[in-house]
Chain A
């Protein structure tokens, strides 16, 4: 039992280099996403860049800082599949806000 405990502890530590790399990458990516605003990119370019940097940063934090990259799939899957429910909710609410905006414009400005 003590032997297995020791092995467990060993597997939980990683080289310091990986953390420093991810840390540096997060700084660079944050700097880039700030630059998106600095240079006032507009339209699809702005939104796609914001989302790209956001998902990259979130993925790096979850995979390496939160150790999900090294966890067993049983845990990873329990955590990631529920995100599809959030994605569904987003699609539903996009349809909803378009409809609300449409009715507001129709009744406020056109008068029905």
Chain B
């Protein structure tokens, strides 16, 4: 692999390459679009935000002498009169993974400059995200009807509600913003902004399919956070 910014400069592979890249002039992340590098830095900071939420949840749950509400009972849903544990959460998980898969394929087709497939897959991802948010709204309203509040609930430890609304709310907010951008980018793909290399908003940068990968990184991160929330909040 050669550095696209310096002609004739050959990049070293492996850990030697890491040392050379880190100690080199100009750019540290060789061959990586600056937008992609900045998205990764943003996601790193977002990782810390979500980690702080989940760690405070761990601390809150671990330090209360009152019994914690059993999530597989609290989040059970009646299907044909039989309570199925975590039914809605399981469906939400599968919906989010499906949308993550379509996003990965959208990135692939974007790099192949396959406008139609890329556009439809981004749109499918957006619809998956919208379904997820819709189910989360249903879950929230169900719990609020059952009397779950940030300061107390009928099932057990009072801290349950505040952690639940804070963590899933922040994640749902991320999904909502992602859905908004997915719709915008689906429009941009179909309108041919990436093929014509049209100028974007508030920037002199020409549009490129790498933007689909950058959006994809954000979307996969939302899925990644859900993996941790699913494990620690719903299954634990």
Contact = CB atoms under 8 A, between A and B. Distances in A.
A105 B65 contact: yes
Size bracket, chain B contacts? 35 or more
Interface in B49-65: 51, 55-56, 58-65
B148 interface: no
A22 B104 CA distance: 10
Given A19-B105, A74-B18, A58 B58 contact: no
B177 interface: no
A72 B40 contact: no
A72 B228 contact: no
A61 B93 contact: no
A27 interface: yes
B112 A13 contact: yes
Interface stretch (B27-35, B126-134, B139-147, B187-195): B27-35
Nearest to A26: B97
Contacts of B104: 19, 22-23, 64-65
Interface in A20-69: 20, 22-23, 26-27, 30, 33-34, 36-38, 40, 46-47, 50-51, 53-54, 57-58, 61-62, 64-67
Given A5-B4, A33-B235, A66 B94 contact: no
Nearest to B37: A75
A72 B227 contact: no
A11 B1 contact: yes
Most B CB atoms within 10 A — which of A16, A66, A73?
Answer: A66
B1 A89 contact: no
Given A19-B104, A86-B51, A74 B220 contact: no
Nearest to B23: A74
A79 B37 CA distance: 10
B224 A61 contact: yes
B196 interface: no
B165 interface: no
A108 B64 CA distance: 11
Interface stretch (B7-15, B168-176, B178-186, B199-207): B7-15
A23 B63 contact: no
A74 B235 contact: no
24 contacts: A4-B4, A13-B108, A22-B104, A23-B100, A26-B101, A30-B94, A33-B235, A37-B72, A37-B234, A54-B230, A61-B220, A61-B227, A66-B217, A66-B221, A72-B17, A72-B21, A72-B32, A74-B17, A74-B29, A77-B18, A83-B47, A89-B51, A100-B63, A104-B64
